[in-house]
Structure 1
Amino acid sequence: MSPSITSLNPSSGTPSGGNQVTITGSGLTGAASVKFGSASTAFTALSDTQIRTIAPPGSGTVQVTVTTPSGTSNGLPYSYIAPSLASLSPTSGPASGGNTVVLTGTNLAGVTTVHFGANLAAFTVVSNTQINAIAPAGSGTVAVNVSAGTSTSNSLSYTYVPAPTLTSISPTQGPLPGGNLVTLTGTGFTDVAGVFFGAVPASSFTVVDSTHITAVAPGGNPAGPVQVSVTTLSGTSNAVSYFSVPAPLLTDISPAQGPTAGGNSVTLTGSGFTGTTSVHFGAAAAPSFMVDSDNQLSVHPPAGTGTVPVTVTTAGGTSSGTVSYTYLPAPVLTSLIPNQGPATGGNSVTLTGTGLTFTSTVSFAGTPAPFTVLSDTQVVALAPAGPAGPVTITATTPGGTSNGRTYTRLAAPGT
């Protein structure tokens, strides 16, 4: 009796062949050959009703037959089906390649090559529906396909994303403890995984768009320059410099008093004054200042009253400490005792008034006189010699020059 076959399992495969096919039928004992179309292939007769064989390479649909000494069986169709791709994950990656891309589809078991554009990729066949490929280096958007023998699958798009680039950072410096907002400008800011100040990640960051990121600078870096970079799924950018600046230190002020109207010249001493952005006397900003060096500032105080703290602000923050400045009202003279004396001078004159504590000069018609401050309300001056007649006496302090009081120089008798 001639052999008869009733089923093939499976009844299809990839054009590259190589898959196992089980043939079921009857009269299969003594099988001499198994053919897929005209192509003979290796087989093993398991019983009179079953043969196990390996599909040879092929294309299209062919008839499978078994030949025994009793003749050749009927044919059953076997289809060579090209591999097909359904998806890629991820669909993009770094231009340098090296990342794993999962290809899913059908009839992938016999795949022999995987292409990303013109470049071959290393791959592993996981199953008939999955391949894991290692993306080669590339650029732009390329077609990904797989081949099994002479059959090539459909193509899916894969995009190579260049590593991000940094062009600028603003501001370029900030306080040593961090916490300030910094804007990064560049390209390729998509899929951002991190912003780093040296090895320290930014406290937080926001991708504004593909060319701008705002980041909160972290603490933890030493004073001085640190390299800032951006990391995305496509790689790490070049670095730009950012300076971590300690807060300024204010140690002294001279003079420590001045007029309520402000405008006088004051010298501040300390450290870290380079890049000073403002100087405050209490809540009021000084109208002008000059950075003489990293250790000295020349300042014109604003108007004010009372005793106020003085602070210096730089990119590193605002100084702390106990340096203060006292606004002094101009002194006021209310009386002179005596209000006259010999033109030859040498006599003591008591000036009474207010605001006399910091008296620096007592003047008789422009001529300085020796003096002693007794209290905030009294100064004793030694009248200088001068022409007979009335003269104006004034007292000067850091708060200004007082009103004038009249003192009369008396000519000696007989002159």
Structure 2
Amino acid sequence: MTTSPSVPAGTTLGKSYEYGMRIDLGYPGGAENFVDVRRMSELQPTPTPVTQDVQTYDDFGAPNSDKTSESFGITLTVLGNRSSVTGKYLPELQKFHDATRPSAKGEDAVVRVQYFHKPETGTPDPDDAFEGLATVSIGRQNAGADGAVERSNITLTGKGQRKEIANPFAGWGVTTPQVTGVSPAAAAAGELVTITGSGFLGATAVKFGAVSAGDFEVIGGSTIVAIVPAGAAGPAAVTVTTPGGVSLAFAYTRGA
């Protein structure tokens, strides 16, 4: 006698892991720059339907409501030792904390996040992924046997409703790209630059500020050559997008 439910023929069960989360370091006002929230656990999203009463006499007093929209909230925990040099957290955790500062008002107090199915094994559900804007509150405590690790208990309160997105998690073998150099310095529109770093395989976009480079080639996992797109001289941080995500912006100044 079987003690567990059967699964459809040809199906292999994967292992469920927690959701993953990314936060846009460029929001608000900057170039989109989603990065993974590292050292995270206990992520619990709670979408709540917003309803409208449509009760009629035929319901005989029973509740009858239609969903018209939704609100959402998310709680999560992030461990975050501070840098001994700057005193800051990792950039993604620092972004959450910055949104809670007394001086943060309006959009500066809002974060843009994505959360998504992130299984330990098996294929990520392509449809179990969402994006939204939220305000932030954080409770801080010390964790570990000797209290040496800071623990940020984060509560996100949705601002508007979520939107459905394609799952950005491509698997554990895919890493977020990293840009470590762009040469030559001060290249102008139409000139060739070499971008160095790591995790470039499968790159789908290269941007100088908010402008995409229409012509680029991946030479290998650590090198991309690109033509600087049209635009004015001045700061234009370089980012690389791959199936593993978007690199942190690398400071670069375009020439005239």
The normalised TM-score by structure 1 is 0.25
Higher Rg of the two aligned structures? 1
User: Which has a greater percent of strand?
Assistant: 1
Higher relative contact order (CA 8 A, sep 6+): 2
